[in-house]
Amino acid sequence: MAPFVPTQQRVAQREIVRTIKARIDTWKCDTTIIAGRYGCGKTVALEESLRDRQGIFVHTVWDKSWKTSLFERLGLNGEQEFKEVLRLSFPCATCFAGFRGMTTVADTVAIFGKYTSSDSSLAHVIVCPSSAAVALTFQERHRNIWVDDLTKDEAEELLKLHGQEDKKDEFLRACGYNALDLVSACQRYAVDGEQALKAKEAMMEKMAWQEVVCFKDQCKLRGDTGKDILKKLVDNWQAGVLEGADCLCTSAAQRDVALWIRENDCEPVIWHTVRREYQFASELHARVATEILSSNSQSTP
């Protein structure tokens, strides 16, 4: 196979890329799960860690027929022939889980990773799922790697790559440190100028309020699930406690909460698959949740 070429040719240097590279270089067994908040840059980070490596095969998982299309792309007749090919070579099979809310499909990817990477170590399967709900489907042995939003230095480097280093403060105030939000704002700024930043900041504020209210009022898996999680997170945030909220802050299972978040496209909080705790999706969500819960408590007799 030819050396792997990432989709993005100019990317900000990130510490997480070195972490993923180290995992690939020292891999001996088990699937690797690359998880993180939507738009955090996990796919870009994974692709950058694979840059110029040989033996890389990337396959996007859209639906339950993903395995059939995988074998067809490889020119193979089925699973047994696939295993035989792996025994004679040593590629790194990468699956991008691009489906929404389809944990039944994720189950089949998990089984694929089990017999390929855990039971036999035929190939290193790396899965970059679209949500924590999908990541939590993997019950077999695996290694979790979490991709946070950009650091301040990483965000400033990204803005420099897009020619906006002189307006870094304005972009960071409008967008925060989510990679996708910053890139989309840069693209809109090239067309609409300053108005793009004003519109972006207003839109993100509005979305944060909608997501917090929706999660608080509608996520009721077992009791007031969303409200319970938000209250614990707000209490910690106001007290200056850096930890998030553990799974015991609500009686609902974290996988069910993560699935609700995914299916309702409402992500004011995230389940951190490495720290195993709920966290605010962003500082903006933390501020908004604090205002909303404080307002509610003051209005309650």
- What's the confidence (pLDDT) of residue 115? 85
Contacts of 239 (CB under 8 A, 6+ apart): none
- What's the confidence (pLDDT) of residue 86? 84
- What's the confidence (pLDDT) of residue 300? 55
- What's the confidence (pLDDT) of residue 106? 79
Q: Residue 6 domain-assigned?
A: no
Q: Residue 211 domain-assigned?
A: yes
Is residue 215 located within the same domain as residue 130? no
Is residue 30 located within the same domain as residue 110? yes
Is residue 185 located within the same domain as residue 118? no
- What's the confidence (pLDDT) of residue 114? 86
Q: Residue 285 domain-assigned?
A: yes
Dist CA 130 CA 39 (whole Å): 10
Is residue 91 located within the same domain as residue 142? yes
DSSP bridge pairs for 33 = 127, 144
Dist CA 15 CA 204 (whole Å): 27
- What's the confidence (pLDDT) of residue 129? 87
**Domain membership of residue 85 as a residue range:** 15-147
Q: Residue 10 domain-assigned?
A: no
Phi, psi at 196, each rounded to 5°:
-65, -40
- What's the confidence (pLDDT) of residue 136? 80
Is residue 129 located within the same domain as residue 168? no
Is residue 52 located within the same domain as residue 143? yes
CA 67 to chain centroid: 23
- What's the confidence (pLDDT) of residue 299? 58
Is residue 124 located within the same domain as residue 55? yes
DSSP β-ladder status, 269-272 and 142-147: unpaired
- What's the confidence (pLDDT) of residue 33? 93
Q: Residue 160 domain-assigned?
A: yes
Dist CA 238 CA 240 (whole Å): 5
- What's the confidence (pLDDT) of residue 40? 95
Mean pLDDT by 10 residues, the chain (301 residues): 85 96 94 93 94 89 86 89 81 62 73 85 88 74 93 98 96 97 97 96 98 98 97 95 92 92 93 95 97 78 50
Number of domains in the chain: 3
DSSP bridge pairs for 279 = 270
Contacts of 60 (CB under 8 A, 6+ apart): 66, 95, 96, 98
